[in-house]
Amino acid sequence: MSLSNSFTVFVLSLVVCLVIPKCQADANATQTSKLVIDANSGRPISDTFFGVFYEEINHAGGGGLWAELVSNRGFEAGGSSVPSSILPWTIIGDESNIIVSTDRSSCFDRNKVALRMDILCQRISCPPGGVGISNPGYWGMNIEQGKKYKIEFYVRATSPINLEVSFVGSNGVKLASTNIRTFGKNVANWTKMENIVEANATDHNSSLQITTSQKGIVWLDQVSAMPLDTYKGHGFRNDIFQMVADLKPKFLRFPGGCFVEGDNLRNAFRWKDTVGPWEQRPGHLNDIWKYWTDDGLGYFEGLQLAEDLGALPVWVFNNGISHHDEVDTNAISPFVQEALDGIEFARGSPTSQWGSLRASMGHPHPFDLKYVSIGNEDCNLKYFLANKYMKFYKAIRRVYPDIQIISNCDGSVNPLNHPADIYDFHIYTNSKDIFSMSTKFDNAPRSGPKVFVSEYAVWKEDAGNGSLLAAVAEAAFLIGLEKNSDIVSMVSYAPLMANINDRLWTPDAIVFNSYQLYGTPSYWLQQLFIESSGATLLNSTLQTSSTSLVASAIQYKNSQDGNNYIRVKVVNFGTVVENFGISINGLKSNVQQTGSSIVLLTSPNIMDENSFSEPNKIAPLRVPLEKKIEDLTYGLPPYSITSFDLLI
Ligand code: AHR
């Protein structure tokens, strides 16, 4: 019987459970499983146990968390040679009244391509509204009534400029507009234009138009439109930022993933090209995830994001390796220096060479960079172990002895044959497999480096675009990691985010478009692990004959109410209701019923997903504890995650 058929049999009991969320014990169940907890013995879980992994994938940054509205702001999406690609810009007008091309006349040395518009018409000979260019942003710009937007661009021309810059709704109606006129001024040289406009209506699918009815030649470059209202003015889209912040991550691994490597080394993420003034950044082809990125959310912004989230940055840098080419170990020194420079950029003094660049960007105080990863998923490549890794390791260790160095070789079966403070472990698999991996680290080497499970997820058929089934199986895996937190010191799901219009990799934790967003079940399950960082893992034994249950118990102090709780998390990855009880030994006083609660994450169908129309179809449901914990026999619904928060 398939999972989904067998599951249907239990829909009735589940519906009862959802209507009466206290989940009655199943009278037909032959056994009651019990988690026996010793409240007197436990060990600390790492303070950085639970975090997030941000990668520029699925337009997570450009067209997502990074609030820039214009896509391809430098007209460079086809590369630095001309003709380059102006997509997704389109031309307003036809060849009888405007000719649009690219040339290499920009005032910016690192991104020489500029847009040239030869305007052939004059005033009434131009179409109504003029001719020019239009940018749809990332599948439509979200322009909201009453909100202010900063529009900036660089311009030069052969004759006085008379441009109209507007946000235009999908119905062609102008939502905000400003005129740029330069009569009597010298416009032969590049000039920066800056304007703030306020929208008079809302349209989630708007575009930015720059038009004119004035004959002549106009060049444009580095066109940007940013909402003024971003998180702390740091450029992060508020709603997406908040959703990440709600996970209370203790670390932020960034900026990849394969994004760091590139399909080809010439397209890899090289941090120096992503810092400094935004208009001077060349941008690059994110060839692994198949789109151009303007690198608005660059290395500096990644560090800033970590700081704003209250998370420690974990910087993954390119170690001279892409998916298709590799720098020889003998020629690796520039990459080693680039890594050292990157660390200096993050934490050097404001007077140091690279620290001063950071300071010039508005952050004189060093960022708290304590973790770096030498590359991503390249352990088995030709040169990696042939000393290349050691060149990075030794150089960083010598200059920054306190930095935790992460190797991307798997040390879970055999100890690593090279030094590292932490090793990185990735797993994407089906639900049964990841469920069974709740014991994966039980026998992993205890001496040597700690483990960072920096990417895990159920994928393919079991996951769809983010199913309950995936979340339940992942929860079991996470509980297993928590129980092995003597060696597993960090864990993050992947990928974190996706713009639904370019979801190359699915599933993802947070899905958005220009104005909406929702968490997949995998997002919501992670919320049950927020309190694990810095908590105490209590010794516990699950007395059961069921092979579908995985459980753990932690003790933690709730930062909001200051109270101490025991949190029991239990996963039922089976097709039947499982009766479950909790017994706690060694508590000085009883669990307080008032103030204790139960959180349930489940749904009537294992392949259920959330969506924009039903964002909370599968979301945690919290109810008060309605009995003393000693008297409670709780029916764990099939394919469910239950968390008992017990006030002590
Ligand atoms: O998370 C998506 C990709 O999966 C990451 O870029 C890579 O590290 C892994 O293969």
CATH code for the domain in which residue 568 is found: 2.60.40.1180
Domain membership flag for residue 154: yes
Report d(CA 373, CA 380) in Å as an integer.
16
The answer, yes or no, to whether residue 13 has pLDDT greater than 70, is no
Buried b (16+ CB within 10 A) or exposed e, 547-584: ebbbbbbbbbeeeeeeeebbbbbbbbbbbbbbbbbbeb
Strands (E), 81-160: 90-92, 98-103, 114-119, 131-135, 141-143, 148-157
- Report the atom number in ligand 1 closest to the C-alpha of 495: 1
Percentage of the chain with pLDDT > 90? 89
pLDDT of residue 380: 80
Domain membership flag for residue 387: yes
Kindly state whether residues 213 and 258 are assigned to the same domain.
no
The answer, yes or no, to whether residue 346 has pLDDT greater than 60, is yes
Closest of 352, 354, 348 to residue 367, by C-alpha? 348
Q: In CATH, what number is assigned to the domain containing residue 284?
A: 3.20.20.80
Closest of 396, 374, 152 to residue 278, by C-alpha? 152
Please tell me the distance between residue 585's alpha carbon and the centre of ligand 1 in angstroms: 43
Beta partners for residue 133, in sequence order: 91, 210
Where does the pLDDT of residue 16 fall: very low under 50, low under 70, confident under 90, or very high at 90 and above?
Answer: very low
Where does the pLDDT of residue 498 fall: very low under 50, low under 70, confident under 90, or very high at 90 and above?
Answer: very high
Pocket of ligand 1 contains residue 456 by CB under 6 Å: no
Domain membership flag for residue 278: yes
Domain membership flag for residue 255: yes
pTM exceeds 0.85: yes
Domain membership flag for residue 382: yes
Domain region containing 331: 54-67+230-408
- Substitution site in 378, 381, 426 for ligand 1 pocket (most atoms within 8 Å of beta carbon): 426
Model pLDDT for residues 149-182, shown as the tens digit of each residue: 999 999 999 999 999 999 999 999 999 999 999 8
pLDDT of residue 384: 67
Pocket of ligand 1 contains residue 269 by CB under 6 Å: no
Kindly state whether residues 138 and 266 are assigned to the same domain.
no
Domain membership flag for residue 384: yes
195, 227, 259 - which closes a domain: 227
Q: What is the dihedral of CA 424, 426, 431, 432, to 10 degrees?
A: -70
Pocket of ligand 1 contains residue 161 by CB under 6 Å: no
Q: How high does pLDDT run on average in the chain?
A: 94
Kindly state whether residues 202 and 223 are assigned to the same domain.
yes
Among the ranges given (233-247, 368-382, 389-403, 433-447), the one the predictor scored with the smallest mean pLDDT: 368-382
Where does the pLDDT of residue 557 fall: very low under 50, low under 70, confident under 90, or very high at 90 and above?
Answer: very high
Model pLDDT for residues 391-434, shown as the tens digit of each residue: 999 999 999 999 999 999 999 999 998 999 999 999 999 999 99
Domain membership flag for residue 493: no
Which residue puts its alpha carbon closest to atom 9 of ligand 1? 257
Kindly state whether residues 111 and 207 are assigned to the same domain.
yes
Pocket of ligand 1 contains residue 376 by CB under 6 Å: yes
Kindly state whether residues 222 and 260 are assigned to the same domain.
no
Where does the pLDDT of residue 23 fall: very low under 50, low under 70, confident under 90, or very high at 90 and above?
Answer: low
Kindly state whether residues 266 and 356 are assigned to the same domain.
yes
Kindly state whether residues 254 and 212 are assigned to the same domain.
no
Kindly state whether residues 256 and 386 are assigned to the same domain.
yes
- Report the atom number in ligand 1 closest to the C-alpha of 428: 4
Q: Which residues contact 381 (CB under 8 A, 6 or more apart)?
A: 321, 326
Model pLDDT for residues 27-42, shown as the tens digit of each residue: 777 789 999 999 999 9
Kindly state whether residues 377 and 298 are assigned to the same domain.
yes
206, 227, 248 - which closes a domain: 227
pLDDT of residue 554: 98
- Substitution site in 289, 409, 455 for ligand 1 pocket (most atoms within 8 Å of beta carbon): 455
- Alpha helical stretches, state H, 145-266: 238-245, 258-261
Pocket of ligand 1 contains residue 55 by CB under 6 Å: yes
- Contact indicator for 312, 370 with CB cutoff of 8 Å: yes
Indicate the number of domains in the chain. Answer: 3
Q: In CATH, what number is assigned to the domain containing residue 197?
A: 2.60.120.260
pLDDT of residue 381: 77
Kindly state whether residues 377 and 266 are assigned to the same domain.
yes
Domain membership flag for residue 23: no
Q: Which residues contact 371 (CB under 8 A, 6 or more apart)?
A: 251, 312, 313, 314, 315, 403, 404, 406, 422
- Contact indicator for 458, 431 with CB cutoff of 8 Å: yes
Kindly state whether residues 355 and 340 are assigned to the same domain.
yes
Kindly state whether residues 265 and 392 are assigned to the same domain.
yes
Pocket of ligand 1 contains residue 257 by CB under 6 Å: yes
pLDDT of residue 193: 96
166, 193, 227 - which closes a domain: 227
pLDDT of residue 183: 76
- Report the atom number in ligand 1 closest to the C-alpha of 55: 6
